[in-house]
Structures are given as C-alpha cells and as structure tokens.
Structure 1
Amino acid sequence: MALDPQGPALVEGPVEIVLDDGTVARSDRFMVAVCTCRRSRTCPWCDTSHRARGRNVSPPEDRNP
C-alpha cells in the first residue's frame, strides 16, 4: 500500500472494504485508489476530489492587438 499525504491510499487489488453500515464495497482492479480525504462522492473510492479546484491562473495576454 502507498500513502500520499495529499491524495488517496493506493492498494493492490482486488479489494474488499467493509463500510460503516456493514455493506461491502468491492473492486477487481489491479490497483485501487481508496479515499482518505473524505471528500469523494464515490466513497470509499477516490474520485480526485482532493485535488485543488478552480486554479487562479490569469488568461494569457493578447499579443496581437
């Protein structure tokens, strides 16, 4: 398992996770990203919600007036 402090836990699959309500989430993928930030809409799987949204990058200047 690999942990990224800014992202998900990467786990070699297949994976079964027992959720708080007792249901089991399963993935047969060879590598699974498990959400650790609790922002994912697809918990327990990571949906990249941990990534910064809405970058404050100004548009390039028009070089041809």
Structure 2
Amino acid sequence: MPHIFRKEKGQIVIQGEVHLTDVDGNKIPHGEKFTLCGCMKSKKLPFCDGSHKLD
C-alpha cells in the first residue's frame, strides 16, 4: 500500500507501488520513493527539483 503525504512547502511525497501517468495515459517512470512538485516552479514537472527552496 502506498504512503502519500504533503510537506510544508507543498511537495507531495509518495512511497510504495503506484502507477503514475500523464494526461494521455502514458506511464511516467519513477522510483520506489519520489516527490511531486506542489509549487509548479520545478523544471522537472511533475517531479520536485527543489525550486521552492529559492523563495
């Protein structure tokens, strides 16, 4: 069962087995634990690249 939680700056941390797809249904590869962007400033969307730390 996946574990999903939101961090203070809006990042969404996901750990466990999940299937991540884009709007066209294409699978987006990821590791066992990954973080989705919550601030929309990432240059690696949908993943967090730490851009929120620049604020």
Gaps of 5+ in 2: none
- 2:13: which partner in 1? 10
**Is 1:32 matched up with 2:15?**
no
Shift of 1:41: 0.7
What is the identity, as a one-letter code, of the residue corresponding to 2:38? Answer: T
Shift of 1:14: 4.4
Whole-Å separation in 2 of the counterparts to 1:8 and 1:51 = 11
Comparing both structures, which one devotes a greater share of its residues to strand? 1
Using structure 1 for the length normalisation, give the TM-score.
0.61
Using structure 2 for the length normalisation, give the TM-score.
0.70
Rg larger in structure = 1
Task: Among all aligned residue pairs of Structure 1 and Structure 2, give the percentage whose two residues are the same amino acid.
Answer: 22
Aligned length: 51
Gaps of 5+ in 1: 54-65
Whole-Å separation in 1 of the counterparts to 2:53 and 2:10 = 8
